[in-house]
Structure 1
Amino acid sequence: MACRLFKWADLAQKCTLAVIFVALWGIAFTLFGEDVGPQSDTVMLCTLFIGAKIFGYLVSLLKCPPILGQMFFGILLQNVGYFNLSPPFKQFAAILRQLALINIMLPAGLNLNADVLKSNGIIVILLAIVPALIEVLIMAGLALLLHIKLVWAILMGLILAAVSPSVIFPCLFHLEDNGYGLNKGVNTLVVASSTLNDIVSIAVFVAHLSIIFSKDGSNSELWRGPVGFIIGFIFGIIWGILARLIPDKSDNFVVILRTLLIGIGSVLVCMASDALGFSSAGVLGCIVSAFVASQGWRREGWIGDKNPVKYNFMILWKFFEPISFGLIGVGVKFHLLHGLAILYLLGFSLIALIGRIISTYAIVYFKDFSGKEKIFFALSAIPKATVQAALGPAALDKATTEDEEKNAMNVLVLSVLSIIITAPIGAWLILTFGPKLLPRKANEQNELQGGDDDIS
């Protein structure tokens, strides 16, 4: 029984990552002394990484997604009062979260199937926009019942509009590695629609936020959303073409150089777009550059499972996964959840989510998918976390009056509730029912691995 629960190969990998982090902390302590002591920000982040990795592994023994354990460990650290980073390290944690998002978006972009996108472009657009719009309208309409002003009711709907690539994509990669979702390009459609959904949701949320806090009524920031979209798309095409041209495929270091080129370019566009105030440009530029580059590499035989750049980023994800979900967890603060309004917000958000699930199913209902595949599309619309964790506090940061603070707190609490409810449940539903809902297609990676494997 013990052998079944504790496979040395799996346990050894986790131990290796933990030892590497402890060794890095030892080097930092040697160099900086008390600045990296037990109560330092550095040790807090190391504790988050190692603890999240351990909790993820323990949860996987119960046949549950490891990300649930990673997320709940972050929640635990935050709500026992241990995790309290100083301002410089808060910024560093935000950078880590962004790097984790980049790291999961790149394999998604590299894995997109151009043929599937060409034949299902309209479905991608509809899946990205219509369910989100339905959810926003339902949430905003219900919020008006609490006598919340219309502009704030709409903002409350918009905070729910984006699904979480950091939750959905690792789940899809796990299913894909075991041959699920490959036959009709289901994974490609979910990745493409989720990405577009995030881009549009972020742009609209930021634009609407500028309307609420515009003091002169000029709404001068509204142009940033569409301009950011254009910038990200153009950058992605240019950088993707560049990654197709250099280095030459005969170069002995072609794999590592392509990995560095596409990775550093993605970090550049994400960091620069945030610094310049074009938030929507980063994610789009990242995934477009990966997609454009991969279409050129396909001619060299780098297709799907045979793309070594994709697997380089999947290896990096071993490090970024516990950081990503641990940081999502530390964004959940239970002291914000109080009062009867919490029950209303929870109920309203669940009703809005049901509307999103039904509308997603309706969009694919008349397409050439099996009934089970249509249900899977609906399940993939559930998880929220990344955008909610990033944008949830945005309104509260700008609030200056008591009325603004009260409304902004509703937005923040709603974002916290959406993470607590949808991220773990959505991940569990996708990973548990994915193999039952999607047909299996054997691939080389699965044959080599000899069956299922967890994503931790």
Structure 2
Amino acid sequence: MRRLAVVREAVIWALVLSALYLACATASSASTRAAGTGGGTFFVLANALFVGRFAGIFASFIAPTPPLSCQIVAGIFLRNVPWINTRVGVATRDASGIVRTVALGLILTRAGLALDAGDARRRIKDVGSLALVPSTMEMVTSAGMGIGVLGIPTATAFALGFLLCGISLAVVVPPAVRLKREGKGSTVCDLILCASSFDGIYCVVGFGICAGVVGGGGGASSAWRVPAQLAGGLFAGLAASRAISLSGIVTAPERASSASSDSAIIMSIVMLALFAAKELGMNGGGALACIVFCVSLGSEWKSQGLENALKETSMFMNVLWNEFTAPLLFVIIGMSLDLTALDGAVAGKAIAIIFVGGIARALGVLLATQRIPSMNWSERAFLTMAWTPKATIQAALASVVLDQAKDVDEESDGQKLLQTALLCILITAPLGAWCIEYFAPRLLRPDDEMPVVVVEVLKSKEERKV
């Protein structure tokens, strides 16, 4: 059955790719024909999507290897095999930048809509500690090693730290949902699902602010960008959410739900914020505005009893991510790595940064969870593994510093960040996925085996909060 499904999908995608290619190749516009011919922008992106889809299918045969690992390897293959790279070509910087921005928008939107603000407020201490303490420890450690080992400027080093410390929701969330559904370690899984969104938000906004400082020349002259992006992003996100709700163009109590319409409107606003922020050099503020907008809109839907609209819109976004955006993004990021220009010394230093930063992160998890009464040592050990995989944020942001480079030195620093991010994905994503799959049944307790004492402590805490 699986082989038949693979063949069926191969035929479908081959037909779609052929039809789109012929549409471009026979167009009356010379620029459109050029985009559809070998090495043209459309030709490269269409082939990247086609290869990414089948790399994801191949990954299902070697589960629990995440599809994104195979998709990145496929992108590296397309870029570096001589006979193939001359016929497929490489996506232009502008085209790959648009793909990454769209992917970042989807990442932020999915994280914002999935974040339960009410649950987060009730568990703010546990969620905040798990989201912030490990990431901050890894960020500071990686930034310090970036300065001392890679020899990059301070602002760029902190951009590297934030780039490396964001965990991958694409790798962590699906097994957590499955384990919770199976009745195994539900308390731990609930904490993972809530804290992972906060972790991603913290890292994306932090990276955006640091990258904005780097793009502004760094130093004290760019310090004003930090409070400006925080205040501007918060205000813009709240204002956009309020305006959209009052306008009545999204689902409301008096208006029927439409997941496709709501998704199109939300994504249009998110893309407008991200591209405007990119033009202004305020990437962190744009990311914060998108998050605040989506969290605020989701909370308003819940308060109005429109949970179904929120669920359907989130599901639509997930399909868009899984079927189109993720395969294209990870192949494109793999195609950005030129093995002939790979610096072995930088690669060794990058692996050292990833390893030491991972140790700091693991210690941060143990520190953040030491006062959670519902967790024993085995569950805390599992959390250190679940907090390991990196992929989505790194793929979406890896080339930002390189894209905005203005001179040779900044381009060299951008290449170091890109190379480190790719190695981080290739090492931690499959390793984390394998560890989660192997150790979950061995370290997590079934829900019906939770000690009575722990249950009573949790109940008393909830009653005090109420």
What TM-score does the superposition give when structure 1 sets the normalisation length? Answer: 0.80
Change (3 A) 1:319 1:156: same
> Which residue in 1 is equivalent to 2:24?
28
> Which residue in 1 is equivalent to 2:333?
328
AA of the residue aligned to 1:268: L
> Which residue in 2 is equivalent to 1:6?
3
Aligned partner (choices 381, 384, 391) of residue 378 of structure 1: 384
Tell me, yes or no, if structure 1 residue 285 matches structure 2 residue 286: no
Summarize the alignment of residues 412-451 of structure 1 with structure 2, pairs less than 5 Å apart. 412-430=418-436, 433=439
> Which residue in 2 is equivalent to 1:360?
365
AA of the residue aligned to 1:172: V
Change (3 A) 1:255 1:125: same
Summarize the alignment of residues 49-198 of structure 1 with structure 2, pairs less than 5 Å apart. 49-63=49-63, 64-80=65-81, 82=85, 84-85=89-90, 87=92, 90-139=93-142, 141-142=144-145, 152=153, 155-156=156-157, 158-163=159-164, 167-169=168-170, 171-173=172-174, 175-176=176-177, 179-180=180-181, 183=187, 184-198=190-204
- What is the SS of the residue equivalent to 1:61? helix
Change (3 A) 1:233 1:189: same
Equivalent pair of 2:140/2:161 in contact (CA under 8 Å): no
Distance 1:70 1:342 in 2: 20
Tell me, yes or no, if structure 1 residue 222 matches structure 2 residue 230: no
Distance 1:166 1:356 in 2: 11
Equivalent pair of 1:240/1:289 in contact (CA under 8 Å): yes
AA of the residue aligned to 1:286: C
Distance 1:141 1:252 in 2: 52
Residue 69 of structure 1: how far off its partner (Å): 1.6
Distance 1:279 1:250 in 2: 36
Name the stretch that deviates more: 320-329 or 427-436.
427-436
Identity of aligned residues (%): 21
Equivalent pair of 2:142/2:357 in contact (CA under 8 Å): yes
AA of the residue aligned to 1:366: R
Name the stretch that deviates more: 14-23 or 112-121.
14-23
Distance 1:153 1:44 in 2: 36
Residue 262 of structure 1: how far off its partner (Å): 1.6
AA of the residue aligned to 1:276: L
Change (3 A) 1:259 1:437: farther
AA of the residue aligned to 1:270: L
Aligned partner (choices 351, 356, 359) of residue 356 of structure 2: 351
- Unaligned 5+ runs, structure 1: 442-456
Distance 2:11 2:438 in 1: 27
Q: How many equivalent residue pairs?
A: 427
Distance 1:34 1:273 in 2: 31
Equivalent pair of 2:142/2:160 in contact (CA under 8 Å): no
Distance 1:273 1:340 in 2: 35
- What is the SS of the residue equivalent to 1:250? coil
Distance 1:434 1:264 in 2: 39
AA of the residue aligned to 2:273: V
Residue 410 of structure 1: how far off its partner (Å): 4.4
Distance 2:332 2:437 in 1: 21
Superposition RMSD in Å: 3.5
Distance 1:51 1:86 in 2: 14
Residue 166 of structure 1: how far off its partner (Å): 8.5
Residue 175 of structure 1: how far off its partner (Å): 4.0
Distance 1:18 1:436 in 2: 43
- Unaligned 5+ runs, structure 2: 448-466
Equivalent pair of 2:36/2:42 in contact (CA under 8 Å): yes
